[in-house]
Amino acid sequence: MNDFFIIGESNKIIEALNIAKKVALSDANVLIFGESGTGKELFARYIHKNSKRRDGRFVALNCAAIPNELLENELFGHKKGAFTDANDDYIGKFGYADGGIIFLDEVAELGLNLQAKLLRIIQFKEYEPIGSTALLKSDVRIVAATNKNIIELVKEGKFREDLYYRLNVVPIKIPPLKDRDNDINLLADYFLEIYSKKCSKKINGFTKSAKLLLNNYSWPGNVRELQNIIERSVVLCKNDYIESDDIGLNKSISDSGNDDFIKSLKEAVDDFKKEYIMNILEKNNWNQTKTAKVLDIQRTYLSRLIKELGIDKY
């Protein structure tokens, strides 16, 4: 996949794509719903490339990757001297995205105080940097995304109802990969072509058993997981075709067929996160600063994940 097109022939993905095409021509805010790894940012970039703001910047920010106490600075910037180490003015993401589109991934993670500030910039196109009493203008279109049930968060008082309606002018629901019919094969072939070229390998396709393996797997990590699996398969492949052993999903599929091994999606994703983060920590001798850099996340967020997932060196 890239910024210009979205691969898929299933009815659900075509429906989502048709909505994206129509809304791209307007200046309405968009709220994209979908599980992690389904391609929410890809849809946001598609909207940007096909909108009248295509010549403006596309600025993406994952609201879950930055602690709320630092997120205000990332979004709205600061004035010089506003706090320790504020040696210069910082325009913030909304200032940088002026005239373009800002993509707020995992917008449900915003605290209520930041939700109020976000609502103000939607209503009045203005914001106040940290340490300043002067209001700055920013003409920004917002495309937000979430993998959570925001309606439930509204009912629980964790997400402002007025902000929800301001963001959810046009909703787009991206289906999980397991509900996308034959798209698994299309995407697998697409990623195979990409990584075969990158690895300078001539691989003609997948064996029947490998295709069966891919189509019977539940894909809790969605398209992102499929992409990673195909890359790994290409690296490990020693023949002209990707075989089931190259894919390495046998254990996951056999486990899922036994009720004793069935886990919730959250449990499965948490298990994957824990194993993956532990692997990177071990490769970096448990240096959290280096590990956070490799994972492309904030050091503070990594510490929080280590605590939440119960990761222990010993």
Q: Is 24 exposed, middle or buried (0-12, 13-18, 19+ CB in 10 A)?
A: buried
pLDDT in tens, 117-164: 999 999 999 888 887 777 888 899 999 999 999 999 999 999 999 999
Q: What DSSP assignment string belongs to 8-70?
A: --SHHHHHHHHHHHHHHTS---EEEE--TTS-HHHHHHHHHHTSTTTTS-EEEEETTSS-HHH
Q: Which residues contact 231 (CB under 8 A, 6 or more apart)?
A: 191, 195
Q: Which is higher by pLDDT, 17 or 130?
A: 17
Q: Which two tokens stand for residue 226?
A: 């499929």
| 176 touches 269 (CB < 8 A) | no
Dist CA 273 CA 25 (whole Å): 38
Q: What are 252-293's pLDDT values in tens digits? A: 443 444 444 455 677 777 777 877 887 788 788 888 998 988
Mean pLDDT over 103-110 rounds to 95
pLDDT of residue 107: 96
The mean pLDDT of 206-230, rounded to a whole number, is 92
Mean pLDDT over the full length of the chain: 87
Is 70 exceeded by the pLDDT of residue 79?
Answer: no
| Helix, coil or strand: residue 78 | strand
pLDDT value of residue 310 = 80
- The mean-pLDDT minimum among 59-63, 280-284, 309-313 falls in 309-313
| Model confidence pLDDT, tens digit, residues 46-56 | 999 999 999 99
Q: Residue 80 — very low, low, confident or very high, per pLDDT cuts 50/70/90?
A: low
Please give the domain boundaries of the chain with CATH numbers for all domains. Answer: 11-175 (3.40.50.300), 178-259 (1.10.8.60), 265-308 (1.10.10)
